[in-house]
Structure 1
Amino acid sequence: MALAGLAAAALGAAPAQAETIASALARAYVGNPSLGAQRASVRAVDENVPRALSGYRPTITVGANAGTSWAQGHLSGQNYRQTMFPRSVGVQINQNLFDGFRTTNSTRQAETQVLGAREGLRDVESSTLFAGVQSYMNVLRDTAILDLQRNNVDVLEEQLSQTRTRFQVGEVTRTDVAQAESRLAAARSSVSAAESNLQTSIATYRQIIGIEPRHLAQGAPIDRLVPRSLTNAVQVGLEEHPAIIAALHAADAADIQVKIVEGELAPTLGVSGSLVQAYDNQTPGDRALNATIVAQLNVPIYTGGETHARVRQAKETAGQRRIEADATRDQVRAAIVSAWGGLEAAKASIRASQAQVDAANIALIGVREEARVGQRTTLDILNQQQELLNARVNLVVAQRDRVVASYLVAQSIGRLSARSLNLNVRLYNAKLHYDQVRDLPWGLRTPDGR
């Protein structure tokens, strides 16, 4: 590929030392901050499950109090003064027995949210890897274009030198010299613009991959992840895309929320027990141990309509989530069609650009030969050189677009991941943290020790 060859020459890459697109994506998978933040977000959602499960467990509270009581008065013909130090210590236990299935449904909802969060993580992973591909190929493209622009300056400097020599011997006019000078100035301006574009691409690469680009190797399309036809691509995308699956989980969670709120209208049954040791409660020096156990049944009769309004509100939200899931399907379908069209266009553009380069190169050789015998002017040579440069730039851009488009199709159908790319990394296992915290009844430290 011309793109790879020019980029390698500009960066001085040696095959044994080159950073490949796979190794760059592995760096992004491990160290990209946006992807790391999304993983932390999934771990936070995991904690909703033990929170919901806590509704099955008892709550235990220990309390104590201490104080001073002083009294004086006249009783039965006698004056009295009394000082006591009342104090007590006790424990209270509350256990839910039935809450209208709110705990059960809250647990189901939390587990559904966990599954949705994992799909959201897959979507962010796919977007991050695609952004890494774009930044990698943009550096290669802009490096190659800068090399072409610099080479064009060298060619135009030589052309200007020859034109000045011919002007001195009277073969051309001052106009020819001015035309060569003008085209050289424009070429130097293009070099400055190309340098600026390359610096922007390098900065983006650093942001996504995590290091400065050094010795980038050739980038190749990922055609093995691209379905055989647009119809197959759409079918795969509608079945596998994480955004669609996440939207369906969100709809399921919204449906469960309706049942949770409806549970507030059901009776609740619970039992509570307490054990209290008191001192100086009635008379100085007394001691008392009290133990109680009470079952409590609450039946809501009328709540002013507030709970009913929240049930209706939850139903509307559930309907909204289902509509959003349909909208997500349409968005994914449109993205697949667009990505597929871009891939086909890139393939055609490479063929056309290669033919343009070959033809422009032959034409330039012919124009130069004709100029030697006076049949062409200096401007004809300059114009043909510019056409060849444009053709080579177009080819570089088309080759970059061909690689990026193949990855875009893989992303649009939901198959762009570290696993599908066989990246040399330890794959992040979201289920591991979930299993570690799901049934934890206590503990303030996270599984990683924080």
Structure 2
Amino acid sequence: MRLKSLFLGLLLSGPVHAISLEESVALAIDYSPELLAQYSRYQSVVRDGEAASGLQLPQANLYAAAGYEETRYNSGSYIDSQDRGLTRTEIGLKISQLLFDGFSTSANVDRLGYEAEAERLTLISRAENVSLDIVRIYLELLKAQTLLELAERNVREHQEIYQNVLDKAQKGLSSNSDLAQISARVATSQSSFIASQNNLLDLQTQYLRLVGTMPNELIDPVFDDALLPSSADVAKKQAIDNHPEIKAAVLDLDAARKEVRREKGGYYPEIKLELHANKNDNVSNAEGPDEDARLMITMDYDIFNGFSTNAQVESSAWRVEEARAIRLRTEREVAEGTQLAWNAYDLLEKQMTLLQQNVDAVKIAELGYVQQFNVGRRSLLDVLDAKVEVFLARRNYVSAKYDHTLAAYRLFNAMGILTYALRVEHPEEWQGEEAQ
């Protein structure tokens, strides 16, 4: 307990800088290891695409060698005792240009382009989810702070009643049972207060892990209700049309189709234009230069490879079916998440009205019970029960209020527009060209 109290003191000490929800999300996006890993994967696939594109350009290879060469004839004797060994040197240049390979290379370039764009959209989708995690922890912190204030107020009110009953008991105007009753209620309220402190500390630690800084002076966020859809069906349509996870799944399907086209390139010959130039000396025990140059069109046709090409084509065709199933699953998950978020937002909005009415009613009842207790028409137990009802009603309303705000942000997340709704811009490094 001392450690937690010390930790709480450290959190609340030092200079305080108010941090908004939008700032928290922006900090978390820069701080998140998950997003860093996904960005690295995106950049890796981009470089893979650049490497594949390089195969469409001329390829130049320089070869050089030097060493000692000794030549013997089949008879085992030397042709000339002075030519038994020579220092041999070789240098050659080969330049080749791919002319045709059954469209395998171009299909592979397109495939990697689709995959890179899919990884970029996956990065944006994960940023949406990280943003929702920050929204959730931010709102939970605000809720915890408010509930802690309610718990502290509850303790203070119970202590005031305890002091009042104690004064009456000392004057003989109240029984020991009443004093015991209020003592138990004070202990219960203090226990609730400590539990609220513990919950707040836990949430602050989670916030620190996600954002990298301590939460100080949080500000109640106000979401842009103009971005909210008019119905669940409208929300689901916008989600399916705009969600980056669905767009990424579509691109994965396109990439799988290009993979089939790449594997089918094995059915065609590979045709290249090649230039060879060699400058050698002292080759095969013939003293002097040995030079040649040639420009040729070459063909390499794999007539039979044990049906490997057929198997590779069929394998990639099944990956197309896998990608199609993943796309369908993603659409269903997005639609489900959007429906659940809409239900929560719509029903919590209705619930808040009733909970506010409940708070107003139990507060009136509490005030009446206190007045009646003061004139002896109500028992202490009635007053204490009324206090509990007010505390629970307020706590329920506070929980519903922040849950309602969270539901709105959940809806934005389900539609794939949470960072837009928060007015948080993605880093420039995340911007990429749309896959062609």
Q: TM-score, normalised by structure 2?
A: 0.89
Larger mean CA deviation between 61-70 and 278-287 belongs to: 278-287
- Aligned with 1:68: secondary structure? strand
- Classify 1:233/1:62 alpha carbon distance in 2 versus 1 (closer, same or farther; 3 Å): same
Per-residue CA deviation, residues 155-200 of structure 1 (Å, 9 max, x unaligned), is 2222222222222223332222222122222222212211121112
Equivalent residue number for residue 142 of structure 2: 140
Q: Is the 8 A contact 1:265 1:307 kept in 2?
A: yes
1:315 shift after superposition: 1.2
In 1, Cα distance between the equivalents of 2:366 and 2:81? 127
Q: CA deviation at 1:431?
A: 4.0
Cross-structure match for 1:241? 243
Shift, 1:233, TM fit: 0.8
Which ranges in structure 2 are unaligned for 5 or more consecutive residues? 1-10
Whole-Å separation in 2 of the counterparts to 1:75 and 1:430: 71
**Is residue 222 of structure 1 aligned with residue 193 of structure 2?**
no
Q: Is 1:222–1:406's contact at 8 Å kept on the other side of the alignment?
A: no
Partners of 2:83 and 2:285 within 8 A in 1: no
Shift of 1:280: 2.3
**CA 169–87 in structure 1, closer or farther in 2 if over 3 Å, else same:** same
2:391 matched residue in structure 1? 389
TM-superposition CA deviations, 1:89-147 (whole Å, max 9, x none): 22222322111101111121122112212221221121122222112111111011111
Structure 2 match to 1:443: none
Q: Match for 2:42: what amino acid?
A: V
Aligned partners of 1:309, 1:233: CA distance in 2, in Å? 43
Match of 2:194 in 1: 192
Alignment of 1:8-407 (within 5 A): 18-70=18-70, 74=77, 82-283=84-285, 285-407=287-409
Shift of 1:285: 4.8
Q: Which amino acid aligns with 2:189?
A: A
1:69-102 CA distances to partner (integer Å, 9 max, x unpaired)? 35687558x8667332112122222322111101
For residue 404 of structure 1, report the CA deviation from its aligned partner.
Answer: 0.9
Measure the CA separation in 1 of the matches of 2:426 and 2:116.
Answer: 22
1:420-435 correspondence runs (5 A): 420-423=421-424, 427-431=427-431
**Aligned position for 1:447:** none
Partner of 2:3: none
Q: Which amino acid aligns with 1:422?
A: R
- Which whole-Å deviations, capped at 9, do the CAs of 1:21-49 have from their partners, x for residues lacking one? 22323323444333333333322222232
**Residues 217-239 of structure 1: CA distance to partner in whole angstroms, max 9, x if unpaired?**
12223312211111211111111
SS in 2 for 1:171: coil
CA offsets, 1:392-439, max 9 Å, x none? 11111111112111111111111222x44334x57535346x69xx9x
Q: Cα distance 1:75–1:154, how it changes in 2: closer, same or farther (>3 A)?
A: closer
Q: CA deviation at 1:17?
A: 6.0
- The worse-fitting range, judged by mean Cα deviation, of 239-248 and 178-187 is 178-187
Task: Give the whole-Å Cα distance in 2 for the aligned partners of 1:141 and 1:269.
Answer: 69
**CA drift at 1:281:** 1.9
Between the two proteins, the alignment pairs up a number of residues equal to: 421
Find the aligned partners of 1:410 and 1:11 in 2 and give their Cα distance: 32
Checking the alignment, whether the CA contact within 8 Å between 1:58 and 1:93 is kept in structure 2 is yes
In the TM superposition, structure 1's runs of 4+ consecutive aligned residues that sit over 4 Å from their partners are 70-76, 78-81
Range that drifts further, 163-172 or 380-389: 163-172
**Does the CA contact (< 8 Å) of 2:224 and 2:421 recur in 1?**
no
Q: Give the Cα–Cα distance (whole angstroms) in 2 for the partners of residues 74 and 405 of structure 1.
A: 95
Contact 2:71–2:285 (8 Å) recurs in 1:
no
AA at the equivalent of 1:85: T
Tell me the CA shift for residue 390 of structure 1.
0.9
- Structure-2 change in CA distance of 1:175 and 1:420 (3 Å): closer
C-alpha distance in 1 between matches for 2:116 and 2:56: 20
On the 8 A contact 1:18/1:217 being kept in 2, the answer is: yes
